[in-house]
Amino acid sequence: MEMSTKSLRAYVETYGCQMNISDGELMEGVLESHGYRIVDRPEDADVVIVNTCAIREHAEQRVLGRVSQLNGLKLERPELVIGVTGCMAQRMGDDLLERAPYIDLVMGPDGYRELPSHLQRLRAGGGLQGEEEGVRPVGKVPLQSGPVSKTGKRRIQLSVLDLDPRENYEGLEQRRRSGVAAWIPIQRGCDHRCTYCIVPYVRGPEKNRKPDEVLREVEEVVRSGISEVTLLGQTVNSYVHDDWAFPRLLRAVARVPGIRRVRFTSPHPNDVTPELVEVMAEEPAVCEQLHLPAQSGNDRTLKRMVRRYTVATFLEKVAMVRSAIPDISLSTDIIVGFPGETDSEFRDTLDLMRTVRFDDAFTYKYSLRDGTPATRLPESDFVELNVAQARLEELIEVSRGIQAEINESEIGRVDEVLVEREARDPGQMLGRTRRNKVVAFPGSPEIVGSYVPVELTATTGATFRGEKVAIPATVGRV
């Protein structure tokens, strides 16, 4: 049955990391190019896509709550199609359809190219007007018969869960929502096997895009008026395509005419090489900012996480980066309560924080993910929840204290701020410095997208208040 999708409206709601946000933009682009109109509220949509994250259990609980809420809309409008995509869809697969039978589609991260055709199949075969006749599963997509609708006609559910070791979405247009800065995915999947992490199992092996495609996309972004890009990948700096390793690509992106700021995330510490640091130091467009996930400050824990570095080598990387780019702002990810982590090993992590003094830290309690190697560690090793919680709180206190001290010492600097949007406070605009610090300062919405020299005048600890100044921004203290 041929059905027009011309008038259909789609709403995409994304959870999780920047990679997922970028995938949400990709799905919107795919849907738009198939005639869908993208809307901002599920109430206005014919198709609701919940694009999910599986990194920790908490993320999944949130999504389950949200889809059951969306089922409220479906009770009013049974023809509403609800799709769940992304890492959690991949991880839970058909279980999700069983647990939440009102979901019509589960689709893993490699299925988005075919999203419109699967949606069309669902609409043709499901909903109220649906006939199952003429609707057949294609390729490897299993067709399941779903619950019976109110009218007695059967609804179908689809699951699209094959991981494709080649899919990197070459040739598809993203619908950019990010405003003044753009995310450019250059890599999908991950070849590491950190023992706590679900990513390699739900996103498959590392796949790198062709450098000329990446550069073409950056040029297009510049043509659309955007001058800040962030290159994205699960271990972005392990990117390699023929004789293009990451430092070469970074340099080429930084030299695209019209590009003013380049960031990249998330790098793996092991691939922070002298070549990369050289490019970061030499290319004026590459921002003085690096996210360097440490995960732990204890060698035994790092070993059991299979991070493949020691505290000493991690510190060497930090020293190398800082000696080449003294002004660099560093952030990190830390997990507490990894199975077997003793109190003194946790104290080593606190020591690492105090030694490095990160500008920002994203801190997590270990969350057991079925199917990951860490689940096979002896059960007696698992850290009690209240112990892990206490460690997390202590770590947050230490890292926030350090962050506040660093930021207080930066009051008086004049930094160039790229203005992103209005702040919640009336009359205030929000933007970011090259070092990725968030600054609120008086201004009006016309300046969104422009670069403004701002003096940092106060800090809340994590973010800054500032005032526009007449003199051009310099990097560093004035």
Residue 192 binds: one of ligand SF4, ligand 5AD, none (C-beta under 5 to 8 A by kind)? ligand SF4
Residue 335 contacts which entry, ligand 5AD, ligand SF4, none (Cβ below 5-8 A, type-dependent): ligand 5AD
Chosen from ligand 5AD, ligand SF4, none, partner binding at 200 (C-beta under 5 to 8 Å by type): ligand SF4
Interface with ligand 5AD, residue 306, by CB under 6 A: no
Shortest Cβ distance from residue 19 to ligand SF4 (Å)?
9
With CB under 6 A as the contact rule, the residue among 291, 317, 369, 435 that binds ligand 5AD is 369
Site for ligand 5AD in 313-352 (CB under 6 A): 333, 335
3-state secondary structure (DSSP) of residue 175 = coil
Asked if 56 is part of the footprint of ligand 5AD (rule: CB under 6 A), the reply reads yes
Q: Give the list of residues 6+ apart from residue 361 with CB closer than 8 angstroms, or none.
A: 331, 332, 333, 334, 353, 395, 399, 403
Exposure pattern of 405-433 as b/e (b: 16+ CB <10 Å)? ebbeebeebbbbbbbbebbeeeebbbbbb
What phi and psi values does residue 293 have, to the nearest 5 degrees?
Answer: -65, 120
CA-CA-CA-CA dihedral for 442, 443, 447, 448, to nearest 10: 60
Phi-psi region of 382 (alpha: psi -120 to 50; beta: other; left: phi over 0): beta
Rounded Cα–Cα distance for residues 54 and 196 (Å): 12
Q: Is 88 in the site for ligand 5AD (CB under 6 A)?
A: no
Which range binds ligand 5AD by CB under 6 A, 7-15, 89-97, 274-282, 365-373?
365-373
For position 367 contacting ligand 5AD by CB under 6 A, the verdict is yes
- Choose the contact partner of 130 out of ligand SF4, ligand 5AD, none; CB within 5 to 8 A by kind: none
Q: Which of the listed partners (ligand 5AD, ligand SF4, none) does 268 bind, with a CB threshold of 5 to 8 Å by partner kind?
A: ligand SF4
Question: How many Å apart are CA 135 and CA 465, to the nearest integer?
Answer: 58
C-alpha closest to that of 270 among 228, 241, 305? 305
- Piece of the chain touching ligand 5AD by CB under 6 A; list 124-132, 301-309, 360-368, 459-467: 360-368
Residues whose CB falls within 8 Å of the CB of residue 367, separated by 6 or more in sequence, listed in order: 55, 56, 57, 58, 196
State the burial class of residue 16 (Cβ atoms within 10 Å of its Cβ: 0-12, 13-18, 19+): buried
DSSP 8: -
366 touches, from ligand 5AD, ligand SF4, none (C-beta below 5 to 8 Å by class): ligand 5AD
Size of site (CB under 6 A) for ligand 5AD: 12
Instruction: Give the footprint of ligand 5AD on residues 178-207 (CB under 6 A).
Output: 196-197
In the complex with ligand 5AD, which residue's Cβ is closer, 201 or 239? 201
Cβ of residue 207: shortest distance to ligand 5AD, in angstroms? 19
Report DSSP state, residue 35: T
Stretch that binds ligand 5AD, among 95-103, 112-120, 284-292, 363-371 (CB under 6 A): 363-371
364 in contact with ligand 5AD (CB under 6 A): yes
Other CB atoms within 10 A of residue 18 CB: 15
Name every residue whose Cβ is closer than 8 Å to that of residue 176 and which is 6 or more positions away in sequence. Answer: 25, 182, 221, 224, 226
Question: What's the closest the beta carbon of residue 87 comes to ligand 5AD, in angstroms?
Answer: 11
Q: How far is CA 297 from CA 14, 135, 303, 345, in A?
A: 32, 55, 11, 8
Question: Using CB under 6 A as the criterion, which residues of the chain lie in contact with ligand SF4 when the complex forms?
Answer: 190, 192, 194, 197, 199-200, 234-235, 268
List interacting residues with ligand 5AD (CB under 6 A): 55-56, 196-197, 293, 295, 333, 335, 364, 366-367, 369
